[in-house]
Amino acid sequence: MAQELSAEQIQKVLQGISVPPQPQIMVDLQMEQVMPHPDLKTIAKLISQDPGLSGALLKIVNSPFFGLSNRIASIQQAVNLLGCNTVINLINAQSIKGEMTDEAIVTLNRFWDTAQDVAMTCLTLAKRIGYQAADEAYTLGLFHNCGIPLMIKRFPDYMTVLEEAYASATAERRIVDTENRVLNTNHAVVGYFTAKSWNLPLHLCDAIANHHNALSIFTDDSVRDAQLKTLLAILKMSEHICESHRVLGNQTDDFEWQSIEQLVLEYVGLSEYDFQTLKESIRDLSMH
């Protein structure tokens, strides 16, 4: 039975880190919510496209209020557990925070677009390579860059630094190294703490922390964590297919992918030809 949480309880759980929700998704959710019979499936689908709302939802469902024995990463499952009224209270709590300037919305569009695309691609790839927890791969895709909006909030010229980071990525220099040098922190670390504050399962938090660390994880034989490697392999392939280097980094070449491609494909057992074919079929899917 869904446990009802009041607006006050929700506010209490949600204190701390917040990633603003997308204005358009908020509008669609408000529309659904005024229907005589709001459809939970539609609501779950809308929420699962937005990192900020999904994070808030998982934070609540994984909070001590519910006393679940295992943390969950599936948005649909969370919506079913929370029930309609709590989810609507949650949406309203988030919409109060979401007052943004047009300029901020334009900048954040780059983040939102990649989050949705990468999440969908992670889901598709996870199914294609037979990874059991496909919804976890989706959640990782949605949240892997959840540190970016917080970096933008904290450092007004953050996107310029991120573009420089993508431009100077090599086998020796990670994207996060440039951020560390210029800002003394980076979006992967901030994303890790955000995901932790949202009560995400810990192995997903670790994947977020390490998502620009793939080279050392795949070259280091002492890293025996198959789950981490598989999630990172799915994520890195997805980022490449969705051209995050172009959307977020403003680069024509994916330098990071060039340094890890062989290792990642070898790990998941795909030839370059297989991956090329897969990439084209996924890109075709997203065109429709």
Let me know: does 4 contact 85? Beta carbons within 8 Å. yes
pTM: 0.89
Let me know: does 111 contact 119? Beta carbons within 8 Å. no
Structure token digits, residue 65: 């209020």
Provide the residue type at 242 as one letter. C
Provide the residue type at 141 as one letter. G
Cα(275)–Cα(28) distance, rounded to whole angstroms? 36
240-282: per-residue pLDDT in tens?
999 999 999 999 999 999 999 999 999 999 999 999 999 999 8
The model's confidence at residue 94, banded by pLDDT at 50, 70 and 90, is confident
Mean residue pLDDT across the chain: 89
Range in 43-52, 58-67, 97-106, 137-146 the model is least confident about: 97-106
Cα(202)–Cα(192) distance, rounded to whole angstroms? 9
Residues 6 or more apart in contact with residue 177 via CB below 8 angstroms? 165
At 213, give phi and psi (nearest 5°): -120, 20
Q: How many CA atoms lie within 13 A of 174 on its CB side?
A: 16
* Phi-psi category of residue 99: left, alpha or beta, with phi > 0 → left and psi -120 to 50 → alpha: beta
Where is 77: in which H helix or E strand? helix 75-97
Provide the residue type at 82 as one letter. L
Q: List every span in the chain annotated with CATH 1.10.3210.10.
A: 102-287
Note the CATH number of domain 102-287: 1.10.3210.10
* Phi-psi category of residue 101: left, alpha or beta, with phi > 0 → left and psi -120 to 50 → alpha: beta
5-62: per-residue pLDDT in tens?
677 776 776 676 678 888 889 889 988 888 888 888 999 999 999 999 999 899 989 9
pLDDT above 70 as % of the chain: 93
Instruction: Identify the burial level of 147 via C-beta atoms within 10 angstroms of its C-beta, where 0-12 means exposed, 13-18 middle and 19 or more buried.
Output: buried
Residues in the chain: 288
